[in-house]
Structure formats: C-alpha cells, structure tokens
C-alpha cells in the first residue's frame, strides 16, 4: 500500500510539473501614449464642479505572458505626466452663473495640479495578437506625485459675490495642496489594432478613483474628504522589442 501511494504521488507530481496552464508567451512592447484627462475632486463639504480638462502623455511598457484559452494575459506599466485638478461651477440658487459685482463677469475658478502618475495594470485581451483587432480590459493600482499647481480665477476671493452663491464653501481658495502623494485604483477598456512589422495602435478609456486626499481630513481640518478622480481618453502606439518564436500566433 505504501509503495502504491508513493508511485501515485510521483505520477501526480510529474503530471503537474509537465502540465501547461496556457499557451506560453514572452513578448515585450514599448511606446508612447497621450490624450485628454477630465478630472474633479470629491470635496466634503461639497464644492459644485464641472469637469476640469487637461492633457496626459507618457511612455508605456507591456509584457505579454500567456494566452489562457481565448484570453491574452499581460501586464502594462506607464509613466505619465498629467494635468489634473478641478473647475468650479459657481451658480446661484436658480442655477444661473454668479456675476461678480466688481467685474460684471461670471465668477470662474479652476485649479490645475500637475502630476507624474504611474499605473500598473493587469490586462486581459480577446482577439488577434499580430495582425488584426483585439479588445481588452485592464485594471490595477496607480500612484502619483504632485509636481506643481496653478490657480486660475477672475475675482478676488475676499470680494466674491457671497450673497448670490448657492454654495458658500470657499476654504479651498486659500489652501495649497497639502498632500503631494496620491494613490488609488484605475480600470478601463479599449481596442487595439496590430499590424505586422509596424506595431500596435491602441485607443482606450479609463477611470481613476483616488483613495488619498489633497488636504488633511482630521477632525480639526475643514474638509473631511478631497479625493481626486479622473476620466482618461487616450491613444497609444507600441512597437515590439521581443516576440515569441511561434508562427501559429495570429
């Protein structure tokens, strides 16, 4: 009996070691990306906002490791420069723009925050790898670090039209960003066109939800929450640095 169990265990270990989970890949691609970044900040107390429009651009590195059934598995890393921030929607109680009594113009305020952002994404793709179309979904963590910030406003904070405003939250006007480090989760989907000997052309949409805050959120601080969120629409071009030696890959 003992001999039988030993033989069975040896066979199972041998089969497990030789079994292939999926079709092996070892492909490395690199390139550039760029697009639009629409951002806002989740303030508590609430600050009414429109989407702040900025740009994002950077470099991309992708390693494809396996095709499991019909799913192409890869990991994607990026280093991007991004213009985040928020743009306020300054309205009265009837949802009309608030007019400044000194300038006679609608009051406008926005804060642009420049970041270096580093997402690391697990990617699942379905379709062609070398010649044709592939759809994909990807998700993972993202970290960022603030490089600079710039305020644009057409009124003096202490001379704003207080009486007409529906929202009286104004603490943010005099506060620079306190936490330069940002972190959160991001996810998105897109399509990729691959052409042999030319490269990979990618269009995607992505959403980022910040888990950190721009300002302190203790009981002594004014804001209980001030997290950044982004909607990104971008295009990328990747070229192959290393390809799997397998002529059956389509």
The pLDDT tens digits for 164-222 are 999 999 999 989 999 999 999 999 999 999 998 899 999 999 999 999 999 999 989 99
Question: Which pLDDT value is given to residue 25?
Answer: 77
**Do the beta carbons of residue 51 and residue 39 sit within 8 Å?**
yes
Q: Which of 31-40, 56-65, 202-211, 235-244 has the lowest mean pLDDT?
A: 235-244
Phi, psi of 126 (to 5 degrees): -140, 120
Instruction: Compute the CA torsion angle 181, 184, 190, 195 (nearest 10 deg).
Output: 50
Q: Which two tokens stand for residue 214?
A: 């721009």
Q: What is the pLDDT of residues 55-113, one digit of tens each?
A: 999 999 999 988 888 889 999 999 999 999 999 999 999 999 999 989 999 999 999 99
CA atoms of 98 and 108, how far apart (whole Å): 9
Residue-wise DSSP of 181-247 = EEEEEEEEEEEEEEETTTEEEEEEEEEEEE-S-SS--STTSS-SEEEEEEEEEEEEEEEEEE--S-T
CA atoms of 197 and 127, how far apart (whole Å): 18
CA atoms of 44 and 225, how far apart (whole Å): 5
Predicted confidence band of residue 12 (pLDDT cuts 50, 70, 90): very low
In the predicted model, is pLDDT for residue 21 greater than 60?
A: no
Q: Which of 68-82, 149-163, 184-198, 232-246 has the lowest mean pLDDT?
A: 232-246
DSSP-derived letter for residue 15 is: H
Candidates 3.10.290.10, 1.25.60.10, 2.40.160.20, 2.20.25.240; CATH matching 23-242: 2.40.160.20
- pTM confidence score: 0.85
CA atoms of 107 and 70, how far apart (whole Å): 54
Question: Which pLDDT value is given to residue 249?
Answer: 65
Contacts of 180 (CB under 8 A, 6+ apart): 145, 146
Question: Which pLDDT value is given to residue 247?
Answer: 67
Domain ranges of the chain: 23-242
Residue ranges of alpha helices (H) inside the chain are 2-18
């Amino acid at each position: 009996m003992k001999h039988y169990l030993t033989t069975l265990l040896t066979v199972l270990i041998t089969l497990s070691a030789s079994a292939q989970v999926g079709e092996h890949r070892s492909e490395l691609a690199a390139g550039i990306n760029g697009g639009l970044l629409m951002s806002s900040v989740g303030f508590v107390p609430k600050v009414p906002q429109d989407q702040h429009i900025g740009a994002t651009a950077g470099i991309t590195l992708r390693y494809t490791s396996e095709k499991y059934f019909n799913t192409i598995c890869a990991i994607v890393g990026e280093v991007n420069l991004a213009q985040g921030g928020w743009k306020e929607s300054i309205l009265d109680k009837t949802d009309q723009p608030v007019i400044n009594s000194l300038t006679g113009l609608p009051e406008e305020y926005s804060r642009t925050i420049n970041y270096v952002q580093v997402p690391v994404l697990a990617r699942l793709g379905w379709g062609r790898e070398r010649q044709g179309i592939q759809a994909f979904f990807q998700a993972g963590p993202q970290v960022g670090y603030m490089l600079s910030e710039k305020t644009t406003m057409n009124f003096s904070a202490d001379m704003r039209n207080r009486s007409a405003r529906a929202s009286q939250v104004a603490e943010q006007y005099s506060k620079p960003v306190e936490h330069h480090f940002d972190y959160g989760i991001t996810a998105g989907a897109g399509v990729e066109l691959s052409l042999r000997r030319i490269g990979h052309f990618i269009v995607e949409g992505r959403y980022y939800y910040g888990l950190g805050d721009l300002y302190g959120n203790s009981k002594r601080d004014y804001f209980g929450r001030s997290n950044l969120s982004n909607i990104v629409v971008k295009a990328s071009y990747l070229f192959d640095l290393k390809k799997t030696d397998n002529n059956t890959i389509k």
